[in-house]
Structure 1
Amino acid sequence: MLQEIKIENFKNSAGTVQDIHLSYQFFGKKPTDAPIILVNHALTGNSLVTGSKGWWKDLIGKNRCIDIDRFCVLAFNIPGNGFKGHEDQFFENYKEFRLRDIAEIQAQALEKLNILKLFAIIGGSIGGALAWELAALKPELAENIIPIACDYKSTDWLVANCRIQDHILNNSLDPVHDARMHAMTFYRTPQSLAQKFEGKRNKDNQAFEVENWLLHHGEKLKNRFTLPSYKLMNHLLTTIDISDGSQNYLEAASRIKGDIHIVTVNSDLFFLAEENWNTYVELSLLKGNISIHEIRSIHGHDAFLIETGQLNSFLKPVFQQTKAILNNNSSRITRDGSIDTVNITTR
C-alpha cells in the first residue's frame, strides 16, 4: 500500500523552503518484527520493488535473495519522480536540489517512522548513489551499505552525459522520448547491441532493428514518465557528492560505520568500473569492512538489472545473516502494520 509523509518547511541546499510530499511502501514483515532494508530506486524506477510488476522482483520477494518472509522492505519514492502524483512539486526549482537533500528527506522520514536502525541500504544507479549519500549523512544508521552500479561522486564523464540529456530535455520537440533514446546508448554497450540485433533489419519497415528498439524505449518512457520528473532525476545525477562540497570523498566514506559492499559492472559506460575499484583500493586502507564484487557482462550499466544470477550470488551471504535489528520505539506504527500519514516539520 502506497503511503505518504508530508515534510513541512523543508529547506533545500539553495535555501528555498517548501513542503515535500514523500511517498513510500512497505513489503514483507512488519517493521517492528524484522530487520529493515531500505531499497532506493533507479532513475525511472519507483517504490514498487517487488510483486508481479515490481522492477526488482528478481532480487526481492518470497524466497528471493531479499526474502520478504524474513525482512521488512521499505522503499521511498524520490520526491518528484512522478510515481502516483506530485511529479511537478520541484518543477520550478529542480536545479536547487542536490542528492544530499534527498538523503536528508529520507533521514527525517525514517526518524518520524521511528526507524532507528537499518539492516541494509541498497540501490542501483542513482539509487546506489543515494545509498552512499544517506550512509555518509548518517554513518551509524545501517549495518550494510550496498551501492550497485554507481559512484559516490559525479565524475566529469557522468556530468557530460547528463548535460547532453538536459539539453535534449529542454530543447527537443519530443524531449522525454529523445532523451531516453540517447540514454539507452550509454546504458548498454556496442557489444550488447551487436549480440542482440546482429545488424538485422525489420521486415516491415526495413529500418535497422536497433533503431526500432530505440524508438520503442523512447515511446515507452514518454507514456509513463513526465518531463519535470526526468529533468529532476537527470539533474540529481550531476550532484552526487558524499563529501558535501569538500571533495574529500574518502574521508566522508571512512566515517561510515557499517559494512560497505560495492557492486560494479566491468562494462559499465555510465558509472565506470575503474572508479569503483579505485574507491575500493583507497578506502580499504582507511576502513577494513569493505568489499567489492564485479558483475561480468557485455550489457553495460543495465547489467545490474539483467545479470540477476551474479548479483544474487554476491548478495546472498549478506542477507543470510541471522542478526536481527529491531526497532523498539514503534508508537507511530498501527496494529495492522500500516503507518498513518504524518507531518514532519524541520527544525
Structure 2
Amino acid sequence: MESIPNPIILQNFTTESGVLYNLLPLSFALFGLPLHTAPVVLVNHALTGNAQVTGENGWWNDLVGEGKTIDTNKYSVLAFNIPGNGSDSFSIENYQDFVARDVARIFLKGIETLQIKELYAIIGGSVGGGIAWEMLALAPNITKNLIPIATDWKSTDWMIANCFLQEQILNNSSKPIEDARIHAMLCYRSPESFKEKFQRTINQDLLIFNIESWLAHHGKKLQQRYQLSSYKLMNQLLKTIDITRNSDDFETLLSKTPAAIHIIAIDSDLFFTPKENLETYNELKKFKENVFYSQINSVHGHDAFLIEYKQLDNLLAAIF
C-alpha cells in the first residue's frame, strides 16, 4: 500500500539564519501499514532522492517493500521530501537560507503534525543520514533506533571543500548540473571502482575513454531530471551538517538519547570516510552503551549503500 497525501503546510517557519518562511509545504509519502497501526520507520532521502523510496521508481526497492528487510507488511514507512528538492512544485531560490538542521526541524514538525509519538527507526544514507543525526540531537526521544549510513554527524573539512567546489561549478559553469554531477561522481565512487569497471578502455563510437563517456552520460541524465535550485540547496545541506553548531557539545547532546545508534560505514567511502565513522563510534562508546558499528565492504565507494543491498540486508536484519 502506498499513499501520497496532501502536503503538510508549515506556517511561519524561521530558519536558523533568521529567515521567515510564511508557508512551507512538506510533501511526503507513506508505504506499508496505515499510520498508528504499526511501528513507523522514517527513511530520509539523499541528494538526488525523494520520498519515493519503494514501489514504481522507488530508489530503495532493494531494501524497502513487501518481504524486504524493511517489510511494508510489518511497518509503516514514512518519507518526506526535503522542501525544495524538486519533487513538487515548491522551490527554494535562496539556498543559503537553510542548513541541515532546518530540515531536521521541518521533519520533526511533520512528525508532530502526523501525531506520531515515537518512531521505530530513522534511517538515511549520505545527507539523509546527516539530517537523521540532526533530528536525534534536537529530539533525543524521537526514535528507538538511529541508522546513519555512509554519513556522519558533521561535515568534515574534506566534505566542505568538495561542496564548495560543487557550489563554484553550480554558480559559474555554462552547464552547471552536468559539470557538477561529473565532479560528484568522482566523490561517490572510488579509483578501484573505476578501474574494475573501465580498464582504460576506449569508446569506439566517440573515440574517447569509456570513463569519459560514462561521466558525460551521468551528467546529461541528471540535467534532464533535476533542477539547478534543488542541486544548490541539497549541496548546501550536505555542507552544513553539524549537530554541535551553535549548540551543546557532542557528548552533552547524545548522552540525552536512549536510542540505539547503528553506524554503518563503507570501507571505500571517499566522501564520509570510515575513519571518521570509527572516531564517532569510539567517542559514543565512552558514554553510551547501545552503540554499534558495522561496515559495508565494497570497491564502489560512497554509492555502495545503493549498490550492496545484500550486505546492507544482512547488517540491518537484526534491527528489523
User: Structure 1: which 5+ runs fail to align?
Assistant: 320-347
Aligned partners of 1:58 and 1:308 also within 8 Å: yes
Secondary structure in structure 2 of the residue aligned to 1:27: strand
Between the two structures, name the one with larger relative contact order (CA 8 Å, sep ≥ 6). 1
Letter in 1 for 2:4: L
The question of 1:8 aligning with 2:7 is answered no
Letter in 1 for 2:259: G
Q: What aligned pairs does 1:162-181 form with structure 2 within 5 A after superposition?
A: 162-181=163-182
Q: Could you report, residue by residue, the CA deviation over 1:260-292 in whole angstroms, capped at 9, with x for unpaired residues?
A: 000000110000110000110111111001001
Aligned residue for 1:201? 202
The question of 1:17 aligning with 2:2 is answered no
Q: What aligned pairs does 1:49-88 form with structure 2 within 5 A after superposition?
A: 49-86=53-90, 88=91
What's the offset of the Cα at 1:152? 0.2
What's the offset of the Cα at 1:252? 1.8
Q: 1:313 to 1:246 in 2, by over 3 A?
A: same
Aligned residue for 1:27? 31
CA distance in 1, matches of 2:265, 2:89: 33
CA distance in 2, matches of 1:235, 1:62: 35
What's the offset of the Cα at 1:64? 0.3
User: Structure 2: which 5+ runs fail to align?
Assistant: none
Aligned partners of 1:241 and 1:247 also within 8 Å: no
What's the offset of the Cα at 1:248? 2.0
CA distance in 1, matches of 2:246, 2:284: 19
Counting aligned pairs with the same residue, the percent is 49
What's the offset of the Cα at 1:107? 0.8
Secondary structure in structure 2 of the residue aligned to 1:70: coil
What's the offset of the Cα at 1:53? 1.4
What's the offset of the Cα at 1:257? 1.6
Aligned partners of 1:148 and 1:263 also within 8 Å: yes
Aligned partners of 1:23 and 1:79 also within 8 Å: yes
Q: Could you report, residue by residue, the CA deviation over 1:134-155 in whole angstroms, capped at 9, with x for unpaired residues?
A: 1111100100000000010111
Aligned residue for 2:223? 222
Secondary structure in structure 1 of the residue aligned to 2:111: helix
CA distance in 1, matches of 2:119, 2:227: 32
CA distance in 2, matches of 1:29, 1:225: 31
Aligned residue for 1:279? 280
CA distance in 1, matches of 2:248, 2:177: 32
Secondary structure in structure 2 of the residue aligned to 1:223: helix
Aligned residue for 2:124? 123
CA distance in 2, matches of 1:61, 1:98: 31
Aligned residue for 1:254? 255
CA root-mean-square deviation: 1.0
What's the offset of the Cα at 1:16? 1.2
TM-score (norm 1): 0.89
Aligned residue for 1:42? 46
TM-score (norm 2): 0.97
Secondary structure in structure 1 of the residue aligned to 2:225: coil
Aligned residue for 2:158? 157
CA distance in 1, matches of 2:166, 2:257: 32
Aligned residues: 316
CA distance in 2, matches of 1:238, 1:204: 39
What's the offset of the Cα at 1:247? 6.9
Aligned residue for 2:190? 189
Secondary structure in structure 1 of the residue aligned to 2:201: coil
Secondary structure in structure 2 of the residue aligned to 1:181: helix
Letter in 1 for 2:17: A
CA distance in 1, matches of 2:54, 2:255: 32
What's the offset of the Cα at 1:96? 1.8
What's the offset of the Cα at 1:28? 0.3
Aligned partners of 1:241 and 1:249 also within 8 Å: no
Q: Could you report, residue by residue, the CA deviation over 1:169-210 in whole angstroms, capped at 9, with x for unpaired residues?
A: 000001011100000001001100010011111121111110
The question of 1:241 aligning with 2:242 is answered yes
